[in-house]
Structure 1
Amino acid sequence: MAAYSKRQWMTLVVFSIAQFCNAVCVSLQAPFYPAEAEKKGATATQYGLVFGIFELTVFLVSPIYGRFMSKWGPKFINNAGILTVSIMCILFGFLDRMDDTNTFIGFSFAVRIVEAMGNAAFVTSSFSIIAKEFPKNVGAAFAAMETFFGIGLIVGPTVGGALYELGGYTLPFVSLGTVLLCASMMTSCCLPSSGAEANADSQNSRGQFLAALRLPSILVSCFAIMSASISIGFLQATLEPHLRPLHLTPLKLGLMFVLNGSTYALTAPCWGWLCDQRLAPKTVTTFGAVVVVIAFMLVGPVPFIPLETTLPLVISALVIHGVGFGAELVSTFAGAHRDVLANGFPDDLNTYGLVSGIWTSTFALGCFVGPSVGGMFLDAIGFKWATLFVAALHLLVALLTSLYMCLKKDEKVLYARVHECLSQTKDERNSLLFPASEECDSTYGSAGSSQENLPSIY
Structure 2
Amino acid sequence: MRFEFTRRQWLTVVVISIADFCNAICVALQAPFFPHEAELKGCSATEYGLVFGVFELVVFMISPFYGAHLNRLGPKLVFNAGILTTSSCAILFGFLDKVQGHIPFVTLAFTIRIIEAMGNAAFLTASFAIIAKEFPNNVATMFASLETFFGLGLIVGPMLGGALYSWGGYSLPFAVLGFALFCTAILCYVTLPKTSDDEDIKPTGPTMMSLLKIPGVLLAAISIISTSMSIGFLQATLEPHLRQFNFSPVILGLIFIINGGIYALSAPTWGWMCDHPSIKPKYVTALGHLFVTGAFLLVGPAPFIDMPTMLWVTIAGLVLHGLGIGSLLVSSFSDALGTAISSGLPNSIETYGLVSGMWTSTFALGAFIGPTVSGLLFDSIGFRSSTSFIVILHLCVMGVVLLFLCTCDRYKMEVSVSAGDLMQLDGTLDESVLIGDKFITPATRTKRLSYSSRRYGISVEQSRPPAMNSLIACSSFKNRRSPWSQRTPRYRPSYGSLDHRFRASLSVT
SS at match of 2:201: coil
SS in 1 for 2:341: helix
Partner of 1:440: none
**2:316 is aligned with 1:316:** yes
Q: Aligned with 2:466: secondary structure? A: coil
Number of aligned residue pairs: 440
Instruction: Report the Cα offset of residue 444 of structure 1.
Output: 12
1:204 alignment partner, SS class: coil
Q: Which residue of 1 aligns with 2:466?
A: 451
Higher share of residues assigned helix: 1
Distance apart, 1:455 and its partner CA: 4.5
Aligned mates of 1:376, 1:118 — CA distance in 2: 30
Amino acid at match of 2:28: S
State the shift of 1:410 in Å.
1.7
**1:406 equivalent in structure 2:** 406
Pair 177,12 (structure 1): closer, same or farther in 2 beyond 3 Å? same
Question: Percent of aligned positions with the same letter in both sequences?
Answer: 49
Q: Does 1:346 align with 2:346?
A: yes
Q: Give the aligned residue type for 2:344.
A: G
Match of 2:224 in 1: 225
Is 2:122 aligned against 1:121? yes
Q: CA deviation at 1:82?
A: 0.8
Which amino acid is 2:218 matched to?
L
Q: Is the 8 A contact 2:343 2:413 kept in 1?
A: no
User: Matches of 1:199 and 1:412 in 2, distance apart?
Assistant: 29
Distance 1:132 1:106, change over 3 A: same
Unmatched segments (≥5 aa) in structure 2 = 416-428, 441-457, 473-509
CA-to-partner distance for each residue in 1:67-110, whole Å, 9 max, x for gaps? 11111111111011011111222333344556866555444332
| Paired letter, 1:227 | S
User: Residue 31 of structure 1 contacts residue 161 of structure 1 at CA under 8 Å; is this kept in 2?
Assistant: yes
Distance 1:360 1:211 in 2: 17
| Cross-structure match for 1:331 | 331
Q: CA deviation at 1:446?
A: 12
In structure 1, the residue matched to 2:264 is 265
- Measured after TM superposition, the shift of residue 249 of structure 1 is 4.0
Distance 1:444 1:349 in 2: 23
Mapped partners of 1:111, 1:318: distance in 2:
33
Pairwise CA distance, 1:386: 3.1
2:433 maps to what in 1? Answer: 429
Gaps of 5+ in 1: 416-424, 437-442
Question: Are the counterparts in 1 of residues 302 and 385 from structure 2 also a CA contact under 8 Å?
Answer: yes
SS at match of 1:350: helix
Cα contact 1:344–1:444 (8 A) shared by 2: no
Matched, 1:143 2:144: yes
Q: 2:366 — aligned with what?
A: 366
Instruction: After superposition, give the CA deviation of every residue in 1:317-363 in whole Å (9 maximum; x if it has no partner).
Output: 22221100000000000011110111111111111111111111111
Aligned residues of 1:51 and 1:237 also touching (Cα < 8 A): no
C-alpha RMSD of matched pairs (Å): 3.2
* Alpha-carbon spacing, 1:313–1:345, altered in 2? closer, same or farther (3 Å): same
Aligned to 2:5: 4
RCO higher in structure (CA 8 A, sep ≥6)? 1
Q: Tell me the amino acid that sits aligned with residue 229 of structure 2.
A: I
Please give the per-residue CA displacement for 1:104-133, whole angstroms capped at 9, x wherever unaligned.
544433222111100000000000110111
Q: Deviations over 1:223-279 (max 9, x none)?
A: 001111112223333334444444444444333332222111111111111111141
CA distance in 1, matches of 2:301, 2:12: 43
Contact 1:52/1:370 (8 A) holds in 2: no
Correspondence 1:51-450 to 2 at 5 A: 51-96=52-97, 104-193=105-194, 195-198=196-199, 200-205=201-206, 208-277=207-276, 278-411=278-411, 426-430=430-434, 432-434=436-438, 449-450=464-465
SS in 2 for 1:232: helix
- Could you tell me which amino acid in structure 2 is paired with residue 341 of structure 1? I
Q: Secondary structure of 2:204's partner? A: helix
Q: 1:426 to 1:349 in 2, by over 3 A?
A: farther
Distance 1:413 1:66, change over 3 A: closer
Partner Cα separation in structure 2 for residue 191 and residue 257 of structure 1? 35
In structure 2, distance between residues paired with 1:76 and 1:33: 31
For normalisation by structure 1, the TM-score amounts to 0.86
- Report the counterpart of residue 421 of structure 1 in structure 2: none
- Stretch deviating more after TM superposition (238-247 or 335-344): 238-247
- Describe the shift of the 1:192–1:308 C-alpha distance in structure 2 as closer, same or farther (beyond 3 A): farther
**2: CA distance, partners of 1:32 / 1:316:** 29
Q: Which has the larger radius of gyration?
A: 2
Offset at residue 293 of structure 1 (A): 1.5
- Indicate the larger mover: 154-163 or 275-284: 154-163
Distance 1:300 1:412 in 2: 44
Structure 1 residues 209 and 409: CA distance shift in structure 2, 3 A = closer
Contact 1:58 1:360 in 2 (8 A): yes
Native 8 Å contact 1:51 1:371 kept in 2 = no
